[in-house]
């Protein structure tokens, strides 16, 4: 079910756990404004290797692997 979110904060940062991931001006690249770690959105899950069809690279809702639920973001 959809999680109740008072604000559209997006997914938590894989590094610090805070929901401050923001898209950068590079497609598929994100940066956490809390810990300043940069991430790249991969088309292949770094955990289970499952490929994901990312229809909207700019949509932060789609950064989770549909197979294992892990994050598709890897630190750059």
Binding mask 40-69 for Zn ion (x = CB under 5 A): -----x-xx-x--------------x-xx-
What whole-number distance in Å separates Cα of residue 32 and Cα of residue 71? Answer: 14
Q: Which is nearer to Zn ion, 43 or 67 (CB)?
A: 67
Binding mask 17-36 for Zn ion (x = CB under 5 A): ---------------x-xx-
Q: Which residue among 9, 16, 26, 76 contacts Zn ion (CB under 5 A)?
A: 16
Bridge pairing between strands 29-32 and 38-41: antiparallel
Tokens representing 47 are 């955990």
Tokens representing 15 are 């590094």
């Amino acid at each position: 079910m959809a999680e109740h979110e008072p604000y559209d904060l997006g997914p938590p940062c894989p590094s610090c756990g805070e929901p401050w991931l923001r898209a950068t001006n590079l497609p598929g690249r994100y940066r956490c404004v809390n810990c300043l770690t940069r991430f790249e959105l991969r088309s292949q899950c770094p955990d289970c290797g499952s490929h994901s069809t990312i229809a909207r690279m700019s949509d932060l809702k789609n950064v989770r692997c549909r197979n294992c639920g892990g994050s598709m973001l890897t630190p750059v």
